[in-house]
Amino acid sequence: MTATAANPIEAENLTKRFGDVVADDAVSFAVRPGETYGLLGPNGAGKTTLVRMLTTLLRPTSGTARVAGYDVVRSKSDVRASIGTVSQAETTDENLTVRENLSVQGKMYGLWGKALSERIERRLSQVGLWEKRGQITKTLSGGMRRRLEIARGVLHSPHILFLDEPTSGLDPQSRRAVWDMLHELKEHDGALAIVLTTHAMDEANFLCDRLAIMDRGRILCEDAPEALKRSLPTGERVEIETDRAIDPSVRDAILALGAVNWRAPSPTAAQFEARPGEGIGRRAAELVEERGYRILHMTIAPVTLEDVFFAYTGRALRETA
Amino acid sequence: MSGRADTALRAPGIAGETARGIARGPRLALLGILAICQRAYLTLWRQPVLIISTMLFPIIYLAVLGNALNRQLVNVPLAVVDEAGNSLAAECRRGVMALQSGRNLVVATFPADRDEALKDLKRGHYRGVWILPYGLSPKGPAPAFIGDNTDRFSYETVESALAEIWGEVTGVRRVAAAPARLEAYPYLDYLTYLGPAVVCLAIFMGSMVAGGLQVIEDRMYGYHEGYLVTPVSTGAIVTGHMLAGTLVAGLAGALVLVVIMLFTPLPMATPEALGGGLVTVFLTALAISALWFLLFSRAKKTSVLRGMFGIINVLVFFPSGALYPVESYPKWLKLISDADPLTYGVAALRDLLLRGESIQTCYPEWLFLLTFSLVCGVLTQVLFRREV
């Protein structure tokens, strides 16, 4: 079997239509071994539908996808045995204890007896819920519940873990705890590939090795978060305030460095944008000081994935979400 | 395959991780079925309200319906107007007094005026007026009974009791030979007769709550997704749900059976009959669970169940012969009854526990229940969608 050599996920022209609505429109992408791959986009971008096709919960209208080397339409059972999923729905029973939930789910993956109980202990320790093992699930906080869902998703040591909006609806602390936990999972298990959907840029930025920005059923761009940000012609925002009026010659010199969108909110202040990663802001500041100005205030706002999304769609991610 | 297995040997030093340990084939199917049953069983004991209400409904049903219909008629107000005043009339009056003090059937008053008595009958003071006319004699004139026939039951009971008195005093009965009447089985009151039906009602309720409703709720709240993404086959998932429903419904049925035995001892409850009864209970539970699951194999909202519950209840419980003998149904109703698994459950339980028949007599019923479950199961598997 060539599955190990190939990428854990390879999707080609994956399309899903619901009547006239095209949820995913010929989506192609690949996830490499051990990679955390993010699908970033607003609600309705087609992320969940894409994940559902890859996890055999929806049949693609057209296109093909191989997960762990298996076709998602023809070899559903093999796909299911190779993946773990954490969906937006709560797939743990609130009336069962933490441990019982995993005991039920483990059997659904063919785990049994000592192997099962050892795994339960290991996974619950990993997500920090071992002390809560006897607690009825409905008494857990939202963050703990989500961590239990994740423990359920990785209980059987899948090759690929799918996380659909893993931190939506969680408070900042619980989000952070889930992120740390996912990092730890990867540390223990370097070969685990993770696919996660999110509409939070900070999450995509923090967790993903590579990510695809999705909108209206299409992948707009795909790369490592840093590379995506650097690929923008503009985006880094620089603000400089000096002790006296900025001379037009200084302005021209800064523009010559590569700055664009020059604006002067006041004679002594300047705002401009620059290509990220080239240190234009810093070089501009040096230039201003060389000309004898004193800088009273300066900010360099880095590019965010929000800017990347905006650059591709002309809309803000938050507005569409 | 070995290459794939190697990638799974990831976590160092943990015994459980050194092999993926994922069973496939029949072993996985069995574990899947076990998992679904385990959850149903655990959920059941975490929600005692559920099992209590499941059991309480049938028991209240038994207590109310059984006692309401089982009671002997007592204290029916009756007016006796004695216009004759002869010795025969006096004997009739003594007969009525005996009816009052003995069976307690009537509360007799003796107004002098017939018109007054009839007026009171219309006002609802009496359920009947018995007039002993002037010159009462065996050859006539005979007594007249005017009764409130809006209540057919007391009208007929009192009328026949009075006719019996007239027969006694005129000596007619002594002439006619009494017809022979033998009961094939020990005396049963209606409450005992209802017992098996109530057990079946408990099964019906239990399988609805644990089978149909649970499956829909799982689908509504997304729990089902957790099952669907596992490698367990659809057949095993369907079987698991059916058996989980059977487990809960069967337990409810068995518990109600025990409760009934405590209050209205079943005449033929030998250990053998009880064993057969339990088999019947679980087979009926299986068939009914299979039916619920089939009906809701595609339902996504509990409102479907709420809407259908009344109809299903009427179509499954009432035609089963639980309350009235099946034989007297019209043809169309008989057809429903013949296809209704509860009919067979009730019949088998009555055979075993009321008539004391041997277990072998129930084999046809058991066979029907098994076949019915199998057919429903296969249909469900065809209809069941593995997608969300």
Contacts with A52 from chain B: Cβ below 8 Å: 388
What whole-number percentage of chain B has pLDDT above 90? 32
Contacts with A68 from chain B: Cβ below 8 Å: 4
Contact status, residue B93 vs residue B110, Cβ threshold 8 Å: yes
A114 touches chain B (CB under 8 A): yes
Residues A107, B47: C-beta atoms closer than 8 Å: no
A152 touches chain B (CB under 8 A): yes
Q: Is the peptide bond before B133 cis (omega within 30 degrees of 0)?
A: no
- Nearest alpha carbon to residue A230 among A277, A264, A268: A277
At B320-370, the pLDDT tens digits run 888 777 777 888 988 999 999 999 999 999 888 888 888 999 999 999 999
CA angle, B310 then B313 then B319, to 5°: 135
Contacts with A33 from chain B: Cβ below 8 Å: 7
Count of alpha carbons within 13 angstroms of residue A301, beta-carbon side: 13
Mutate to test the interface with B, among A109, A139, A165 (most CBs of B within 10 A): A109
Closest chain B residue by Cα to residue A54: B229
**B90 exposed, middle or buried (CB, 10 Å; 0-12, 13-18, 19+)?**
middle
Q: Which helix (H) or strand (E) holds A220?
A: strand A218-223
At B272-281, the pLDDT tens digits run 888 999 999 9
- Residue of A80, A103, A122 with shortest CB distance to B230: A80
* CB-based contacts of A280-283 (< 8 A; 24+ apart in sequence): A280/A236, A280/A238, A281/A236, A281/A238, A283/A257
Q: Is the pLDDT of residue B78 over 70?
A: yes
Size of interface A-B (CB pairs under 8 A): 154
Q: Beta A36-40 vs A193-198: how paired, if at all?
A: parallel
Give residue A298's pLDDT: 92
User: What DSSP string describes B330-373?
Assistant: -HHHHHHHHH-HHHHHHHHHHHHHTS---GGGGHHHHHHHHHHH
Give residue B34's pLDDT: 95
- Kindly list the distances between the CA atom of residue B140 and the CA atoms of B84, B143, B159, B258, in Å, as whole numbers in the listed order: 12, 8, 18, 58
Q: Give the type of residue at B380.
A: T
Give residue B192's pLDDT: 79
**Integer Cα distance of B146 and A303 in angstroms:** 101
Residues B226, A136: C-beta atoms closer than 8 Å: no
Residues B20, A156: C-beta atoms closer than 8 Å: yes
User: What DSSP string describes B298-326?
Assistant: S--SHHHHHHHHHHHHHHHTGGGTSSS-G
Strands (E), B75-170: 76-82, 106-109, 128-132, 144-147
Task: Quickly tell me which residue has 């954490």 as its tokens.
Answer: A86
- Nearest alpha carbon to residue B7 among A188, A189, A162, A123: A189
Give residue B16's pLDDT: 34
Give residue B187's pLDDT: 65
**A246 exposed, middle or buried (CB, 10 Å; 0-12, 13-18, 19+)?**
buried
CA angle, A121 then A126 then A129, to 5°: 70
Looking at residue A245, the DSSP 8-state letter turns out to be P
Residues A4, B227: C-beta atoms closer than 8 Å: no
| Position B172 confidence tier, pLDDT thresholds 50, 70, 90 | low
pLDDT by residue for chain A (321 residues), tens digit each? 444 457 999 999 999 999 999 999 999 999 999 999 999 998 889 999 999 999 999 999 999 999 999 999 999 999 999 999 999 888 899 999 999 999 999 999 999 899 999 999 999 998 899 999 999 999 999 999 999 999 999 999 999 999 999 998 889 999 999 999 899 888 888 889 999 999 888 999 999 999 999 999 999 999 999 999 888 877 788 999 999 999 999 999 999 998 888 999 999 999 998 888 788 889 999 999 999 999 999 999 888 888 888 888 888 776 554
Closest chain A residue by Cα to residue B21: A111
Give residue B170's pLDDT: 85
Give residue B29's pLDDT: 93
Measured N-to-C along each axis, helices B152-170 and B87-101 cross at an angle, to the nearest 10 degrees, of: 130
Residue B90 C-alpha from the chain's centroid: 48
Residues A57, B231: C-beta atoms closer than 8 Å: no
d(CA A68, nearest CA chain B) in Å: 9
Closest chain A residue by Cα to residue B47: A95
- Residue of B4, B20, B38 with shortest CB distance to A4: B4
Looking at residue B84, the DSSP 8-state letter turns out to be S
Residues A105, B233: C-beta atoms closer than 8 Å: no
Q: Give the type of residue at B179.
A: P
A105 touches chain B (CB under 8 A): yes
**A117 exposed, middle or buried (CB, 10 Å; 0-12, 13-18, 19+)?**
middle
Give residue A206's pLDDT: 92
Residues A104, B388: C-beta atoms closer than 8 Å: no
Residues B43, A93: C-beta atoms closer than 8 Å: yes
- Nearest alpha carbon to residue A6 among B8, B6, B231, B4: B4
Supply φ then ψ for residue A236, to 5 degrees.
Answer: -75, 125
At B197-253, the pLDDT tens digits run 889 989 988 888 777 788 888 888 888 888 999 999 999 999 999 999 999 899 989
Give residue A66's pLDDT: 95
- Give the three-state DSSP class for A212: strand
Residues A56, B229: C-beta atoms closer than 8 Å: yes
C-alpha dihedral, B144 to B149 to B153 to B157, nearest 10°: 0
- Nearest alpha carbon to residue A46 among A73, A62, A26, A69: A26
Supply φ then ψ for residue B248, to 5 degrees.
Answer: -70, -45
Residues B231, A81: C-beta atoms closer than 8 Å: yes
Give residue B13's pLDDT: 34
Residues A157, B10: C-beta atoms closer than 8 Å: yes
d(CA B317, nearest CA chain A) in Å: 31
Measured from the Cβ of residue B42, the count of other Cβ atoms closer than 10 Å reads: 18
Q: Which helix (H) or strand (E) holds A124?
A: helix A113-126
Residues A122, B20: C-beta atoms closer than 8 Å: no
Give residue B71's pLDDT: 64
Mutate to test the interface with A, among B225, B233, B238 (most CBs of A within 10 A): B225
Residues A3, B4: C-beta atoms closer than 8 Å: yes
Task: Pick A238 or B190 by higher pLDDT.
Answer: A238
Q: Is the pLDDT of residue B7 over 70?
A: no
Measured from the Cβ of residue A126, the count of other Cβ atoms closer than 10 Å reads: 19
ipTM of the complex: 0.84
Give residue B153's pLDDT: 81
Contact status, residue A93 vs residue B39, Cβ threshold 8 Å: yes
Residues A115, B22: C-beta atoms closer than 8 Å: no
Give residue B178's pLDDT: 56
Two tokens at B8? 């799974």
Give residue B23's pLDDT: 67
**Integer Cα distance of B8 and A157 in angstroms:** 7
Contact status, residue A72 vs residue A121, Cβ threshold 8 Å: no
**Integer Cα distance of B385 and B170 in angstroms:** 78
The phi-psi region of residue B365 (left if phi > 0; otherwise alpha if psi is between -120 and 50; otherwise beta) is alpha
Mean pLDDT of chain B: 83
Residues A90, B4: C-beta atoms closer than 8 Å: no
Contact status, residue B41 vs residue B247, Cβ threshold 8 Å: yes
Contacts with B34 from chain A: Cβ below 8 Å: 107
Give residue B70's pLDDT: 62
Contacts with B384 from chain A: Cβ below 8 Å: none
At B91-141, the pLDDT tens digits run 999 999 988 888 788 899 999 898 999 999 988 889 899 999 998 888 888
- Give the three-state DSSP class for B109: strand
d(CA A80, nearest CA chain B) in Å: 5
**Integer Cα distance of A146 and B207 in angstroms:** 31
Q: Which helix (H) or strand (E) holds A29?
A: strand A21-31
Give residue B39's pLDDT: 92
